[in-house]
Structure 1
Amino acid sequence: MLAIKIPSTFIPERNYVIRQLLGELLGLSYSVHIHETNLSMDYTIIALPNGRNLWIRDVFFSQFKDGEVYWHTDVSKIEVKDWHHDAAPEGSLPVLFGEAVLRVDEGDLICEADLLAGVFFMLTRWEELASSERDMHGRFPLKSSLAYKYQYWKRPVVNETAEMLWNLLQLIGIEQERRAASFEMVITHDVDDLAYWGRKFRLLRSLGRTCLQMQPVEAYRVLQNYVRVKRGQEQDPYLTFDWLMDISERIGVQSRFYFMSGGISEYDNRYAIKSKACQRLLKHIQHRGHKLGFHPSYHSFTNKEQFIAEKLRLEEVAQCEIDEGRQHYLRFDADQTWRIWEEAGMKLDSTLGFAEDGGFRSGICQAYQVFDVHNRCELTLREMPLTVMEVSLVGYLGLSPQDMLDRMNDLQQKVRRYGGQFVLLWHNSNLSGRTWDPYRPIYQSFLLEGDVKSEQRRSSVIRASRTLG
């Protein structure tokens, strides 16, 4: 067992990071102790049974008195160093705090980079409390992040840090076995709309738009589709649920459908959760063995009462416990949203992804336990970060179908490398129509023709093969 000695300040924060890195990601046995003297207070020390130690510099938290608010830090002044070292699984590692230096001293390794504080920075998202930058939907923008400034938002840097720690521990002779991790494909669908022709005035708006654009052929196609759907001769363009479940079943995974059940904004209430059609659909999804989840409305990310009322309404209709989901429009407040989910009895959130692009908003490609920085405590809620959303690649970046497939495959390779969870969001309503028709084959190709199916069986975490020095 490893013996870990930590400074006597910010103990909840330090324990949290150690648990995530050494316990959750590496699966190592350890015990934590407080430094008995002030001689080594500037370091966290990981002591091996063989008498050798890994010293990790404490740079960030040593600046503050115990419990002092640290998220007023000017993040723009943080200079990230690119640490090139053989122990880094990708050849280099972004260092947010401290110096990119590793020394050897009488058999011990002295790491001058505060790797632990860097992980805490990423997982807790306190960076978003330190910034007032928000987009039109009140979201923290990708371009305001340190990860964007230093170009590492497409890297799971927390996983990379765990691997680097493992490699350093190997250098000083660790004998424990680490936990193996398996790649997992997680397919999610936010149900913003239930049926294309279910909303009032959809036909008039569609015909009006095509007429203004002088597209009579398209106007005829729209009218024909409307008539055929209403007569029961064609499936509504948004009723893609069976098609989605068919593909998921072919690769041996559940689809997760996150339903809305209320709201007070123009972005909400596109269908009635208590309608007979919706009730039939919920039962059908459950009957096929797939997962129901919650898609809280636009304003609920800072409104606990509204959140709970909507959750209870969904559970009443679904007649089952609902314990996972994702916020509408990926709206997230680093001080409030997780706490609301915790108090509402939710177990798994999958909101944390940037709307503007795929990647790793919290620097990790596995579900992890979240930390409430305001109350300085761990929650039972776990975050399963969103890897990529189809709207990010098509709506925000305007990628062609092939470029979209390439981008998703690139992200999937990175997740697979660390035995992580690739969390895909593809709305049921984005599989047909002039914009989305070319991308429907991409969804199918990505899941059925790539390496996803074989990798579902097992994919072990990276093992460094290079000689470490």
Structure 2
Amino acid sequence: MLLVYTHKITPRVTYTFKHICKRILGIEVVFTSKVEDFIAHDSLKMSYAKQPLSNELFVRSNDLLFDSGLSDVEINVQTWGQTKGFFATSERSDLPFDIFAASFYLLSRYEEYLPHVKDDYGRFLASESLAYHHKFLNQPVVDIWAYKLKDVLQERFPDYNFPQRKYTVQPVIDVPMAYYYKNKGFLRTIGGTLNDLRRLKLKQLYERYTVLMGFKRDPYDTFKWIVRKQKSSKVKFIVLFLIGDYSTYDKNISTTKKDFITLIKSVADYCSVGIKASYFSLSDLTVLKKEKLKMEAITHVDLNAVRHSFSKLNLPLSYRNLVELEINQDFTMGYIDTLGFRAGTCTPFQFYDLDYEVQTPLQINPYHCLDFALLKYHSLLDKTEHLQKVIKAVKAVNGTFTPVFHNYSFSDLERWKGFRTLFNLILESEE
């Protein structure tokens, strides 16, 4: 157990120390503001304040973890060995940067509450982030910093037996459209047919009707392959189905179709199943609640996992709505067009509500690779190389690698050629 002395125990202090010490390093952590209790403690201990008490392990604190609300935070990013750091400390500090304040800044997504440029869908862009501007987006810096703390602790307490965590993989399969041609209903099928004719897409028209007449498998129907992979894999896949109403943004099959219900149930027999929340549920709690209840009626299991449509987050509203509905796992935290670490970590963490200054029960599972981000690399060799770099970065800190693939990225379509190989590479990385 690590005892931390600090002059003021705030929700921000306990939240950040627990992520670094307990979730990453596996060390229980408790806090005290009483000097006598700190002196009496005969195991791991450190002080986190402006001045050390004597010659104990000491990290000089930045003011961020003792503030509340948002303020104009001055950040000066500097090189620290093979990584970067910010919130510099002092000569007397055992670490050159306040890794706790810096971690809180990244984990709370502090910068996403500040004014920034959004894309056409209202999403926070990688290019707006501190990590992108200072070239540490490709590193799980929070985890790297935690291991730097561990090194200092081991030096001071050589007899302490530190636990070791293992690298794990947490694959997410997103299903915004289960079938490309099948089960679309009469009007959508006629509309698709007329569109094929108008654009002279005769090959697609031929494929459409060979699928509809049962002579060929639907190109998006890769679920037998997914289930087969799940059966032979040690890791549990998380499959998220879009079951919201048809709209401009969401075009999946209706849950009135028996085939779609059967599909969800058959996948749920082997994989963990959740929802891809529809675009309109982002700003409407009643729509999200309707989708939650609909999925629970299909699977007869409490809904636990959600990923938002278009990887869009409206902070803090999107996460507050999940907390309100007692949905405890989110898989939206990442960038659609860039590989890397949006929250600076490859360890699942709790959502901290900056407005209410409280840690919530919602666990955020940041993803580090979306299949669409790999499309910008033209050859399979380039895709493999960039994917392996991310895996290597996660393995270096024994973290959790979370990739997001779509059901259609396992299809035979030219655009997605080689993606089954990439997915296999991810599964094999844990062996």
Q: TM-score when scaled to structure 2? A: 0.89
Deviations 1:101-131 (A, max 9, x none): 655xxxxx53342111001011111110013
Corresponding position of 1:55: 58
Whether contact under 8 Å (1:207, 1:223) holds in the other structure is yes
| Structure 1 pair 436–203 and aligned structure 2 pair: CA distance change class (3 A) | farther
Please tell me whether residue 222 in structure 1 is matched to residue 201 in structure 2.
Answer: no
Q: How many angstroms apart in 1 are the aligned matches of 2:123 and 2:332? A: 11
Corresponding position of 2:95: 111
Identity of aligned residues (%): 23
Corresponding position of 1:180: 164
Corresponding position of 1:215: none
Residues 63-78 of structure 1 correspond to what in structure 2 (within 5 A)?
68-70=68-70, 72-73=71-72, 78=75
Q: TM-score when scaled to structure 1? A: 0.82
Name the aligned partner's letter for residue 75 of structure 2: I
Q: Give the C-alpha shift of residue 36 in structure 1.
A: 6.0
Corresponding position of 2:40: none
Q: Give the C-alpha shift of residue 168 in structure 1.
A: 1.0
Q: Give the C-alpha shift of residue 318 in structure 1.
A: 2.5
Q: Give the one of 393, 402, 413 matched to 1:414.
A: 393
Q: Give the C-alpha shift of residue 433 in structure 1.
A: 5.9
Corresponding position of 2:18: 19
Corresponding position of 1:460: none
Corresponding position of 1:165: 149
Pick which of 413-422 and 133-142 moved more.
413-422
Deviations 1:149-207 (A, max 9, x none): 00111100010011000001122225332222112221111111011014412333345
Q: How many angstroms apart in 2 are the aligned matches of 1:330 and 1:403? A: 24
Name the aligned partner's letter for residue 446 of structure 1: L
Please tell me whether residue 332 in structure 1 is matched to residue 313 in structure 2.
Answer: yes
Q: Secondary structure at the match of 1:360?
A: coil
Pick which of 220-229 and 360-369 moved more.
220-229
Corresponding position of 1:89: none
Name the aligned partner's letter for residue 80 of structure 1: V
Residues 64-463 of structure 1 correspond to what in structure 2 (within 5 A)?
68-70=68-70, 72-73=71-72, 78-84=75-81, 92-99=82-89, 103=92, 110-198=94-182, 199=184, 200=188, 201-209=191-199, 211=200, 219-263=201-245, 265-287=247-269, 289-394=270-375, 397-432=376-411, 434-443=413-422, 445-447=424-426, 451-452=428-429, 455-456=430-431
Q: How many angstroms apart in 1 are the aligned matches of 2:424 and 2:196? A: 30
Whether contact under 8 Å (1:52, 1:172) holds in the other structure is no
Corresponding position of 1:3: 3
Instruction: Tell me the C-alpha RMSD between the 2 structures.
Output: 2.5
Q: Secondary structure at the match of 1:165?
A: helix
- What is the number of equivalent residue pairs in this alignment? 415
Whether contact under 8 Å (1:357, 1:388) holds in the other structure is yes
Q: Give the C-alpha shift of residue 434 in structure 1.
A: 4.7
Name the aligned partner's letter for residue 284 of structure 2: N
Q: How many angstroms apart in 1 are the aligned matches of 2:167 and 2:181? A: 38
Whether contact under 8 Å (1:142, 1:354) holds in the other structure is yes
Q: How many angstroms apart in 1 are the aligned matches of 2:224 and 2:91? A: 54
Whether contact under 8 Å (1:189, 1:428) holds in the other structure is yes
Whether contact under 8 Å (2:230, 2:271) holds in the other structure is no
Whether contact under 8 Å (1:247, 1:444) holds in the other structure is no
Q: How many angstroms apart in 2 are the aligned matches of 1:162 and 1:223? A: 56
Name the aligned partner's letter for residue 235 of structure 1: R
Q: Secondary structure at the match of 2:402?
A: strand
Pick which of 431-440 and 139-148 moved more.
431-440
| Structure 1 pair 29–249 and aligned structure 2 pair: CA distance change class (3 A) | same
Q: Give the C-alpha shift of residue 42 in structure 1.
A: 4.0
Q: How many angstroms apart in 1 are the aligned matches of 2:256 and 2:110? A: 38
| Structure 1 pair 286–111 and aligned structure 2 pair: CA distance change class (3 A) | closer
Q: How many angstroms apart in 2 are the aligned matches of 1:169 and 1:306? A: 49
Gaps of 5+ in 2: 37-46
Q: How many angstroms apart in 2 are the aligned matches of 1:274 and 1:173? A: 62
Please tell me whether residue 29 in structure 1 is matched to residue 32 in structure 2.
Answer: no
Q: How many angstroms apart in 2 are the aligned matches of 1:344 and 1:41? A: 36
Deviations 1:251-275 (A, max 9, x none): 3222221012225741114221232
Q: How many angstroms apart in 1 are the aligned matches of 2:25 and 2:383? A: 32
Whether contact under 8 Å (1:238, 1:432) holds in the other structure is yes
Whether contact under 8 Å (2:196, 2:202) holds in the other structure is no
Gaps of 5+ in 1: 85-91, 104-108, 212-218, 457-469
Q: How many angstroms apart in 2 are the aligned matches of 1:420 and 1:296? A: 27
